[in-house]
Amino acid sequence: MQISDEALKQARKYGEDNNADIYLFNGPVGESAYGSFFQAIPKQGVKDTAILIIATYGGVANSAYRISRLFQSMYSKFHIVIPSACKSAGTLITIGAHKIIMSSFAELGPLDVQLYKADEIGERRSGLIARSALTSLNEQAFQLFEEIMIGIKNRSMGSVRFKMASELASQMSTGLLAPIYGQINPVSVGEDHRDLMVAYEYGERLAKISGNTKSDAVRKLVHDYPSHDFVIDFDEAGTLFETVEPPDSDLYKLFAVLGEAAFSPRSKSAIVKLLSAPTKAASKASVTKDGDQSEDTATQGKASKDGAGSSGDSVNGEPVANPQREHRPSDQGARSRNRGGSGRGDKSVQAPDAEHDTQVV
């Protein structure tokens, strides 16, 4: 997916006018995306604001958390711009933003974790299914008990006392529903609850820093929406976040020249690019797919050999993200100096431990 020179020109101008670094992310939130973002950060120093234009259907919760924390720790202000779809793990990144800018076509999505089905290839299920099943069964059990008990009382013309009627209703409803309850695996219910809590806890930590979520918003995003593909549009987002704004005319012009890069989320690989990079230092778009690949292998290969703009590791001349070297003290110290010694660059961007790195939201 090529980014036109006109799009880069407009992005640079918008960045200059707003004292901001403009980033583009399009595709799934995968394991290598965080490393690509880390490499895309301007080595000469960051501006006051990061503006991330994002198009994604979701991905890995751990990666989404780390990306959002990276921007929170590197910039004073972090703004998310959503031209079209920013679902699931993309919504988790959005929780960490101080401002959300949504076009009339934009939509967010719930945070219910998508888990791989046992003995199935590539198929997933919502982590809310077990919880929804228990809630439904509890409602049905009470309704069944009530109907049986009242039926016994009415048909007996009052000859059966309430105690006897309730005992009979309890035995009958228990006998009818016990086989259904017996099919629920308590271990599976517990695992689903734990995985849902990972998304919830990540969201709460990001929201605490951004200060842009309304009361109970993270819980609602995790638990209250009926399906994973539920559309959270501009108006609905306004009930969850404090600052949600429409794009200005300059952003709409930028969307137009970006084309499918802004409006069509990729499904198999992700593009990470600093759009506002100065012309001479502009980096080529980094395509992540099980490791970082470059659209200009010659340029990236040279950069890797020279040690500029990479972690120092490469495959076939291409830089790859090295998680063990992303948090080098020297890098963090340099970021702190670039921010005028504010110490913001010293903030940790390491995600809390979670057992299931393959969680998808």
For residue 300, give the nearest of 313, 284, 289 by alpha carbon.
Answer: 284
171-195 average pLDDT score: 77
Q: What is the Cα–Cα distance from 66 to 76, expressed in whole angstroms?
A: 17
129 plus 113 within the same structural domain? no
Supply the pLDDT for residue 44: 83
Task: Check pLDDT > 90 for residue 347.
Answer: no
216 plus 106 within the same structural domain? yes
Supply the pLDDT for residue 228: 81
Amino acid at 139: E
For residue 134 the two structure tokens come to: 């228990």
Task: Check pLDDT > 90 for residue 300.
Answer: no
Supply the pLDDT for residue 179: 85
In what side-by-side order are the strands of the sheet with 77-82? Answer: 244-245, 99-102, 77-82, 49-55, 20-26, 270-274, 286-288, 292-294
23 plus 79 within the same structural domain? yes
Amino acid at 309: G
114-126 average pLDDT score: 50
pTM for the structure as a whole: 0.67
80 plus 221 within the same structural domain? yes
Supply the pLDDT for residue 324: 38
Supply the pLDDT for residue 124: 54
Q: What is the Cα–Cα distance from 174 to 135, expressed in whole angstroms?
A: 16
- Count of alpha carbons within 13 angstroms of residue 284, beta-carbon side: 19
Q: What is the Cα–Cα distance from 136 to 140, expressed in whole angstroms?
A: 6
Supply the pLDDT for residue 313: 40
199-222 average pLDDT score: 94
How far is residue 127 from each of residues 117, 132, 193, 199, measured CA to CA in Å?
Answer: 10, 9, 7, 11
Supply the pLDDT for residue 336: 40
Domain count, the chain: 2
- 271 contacts 20 by C-beta, under 8 angstroms: no
**Domain for residue 243, yes or no?**
yes
Parent domain of 170: 124-188
Confidence of residue 178 (pLDDT cuts 50, 70, 90): confident
- 53 contacts 81 by C-beta, under 8 angstroms: yes
111 plus 212 within the same structural domain? yes
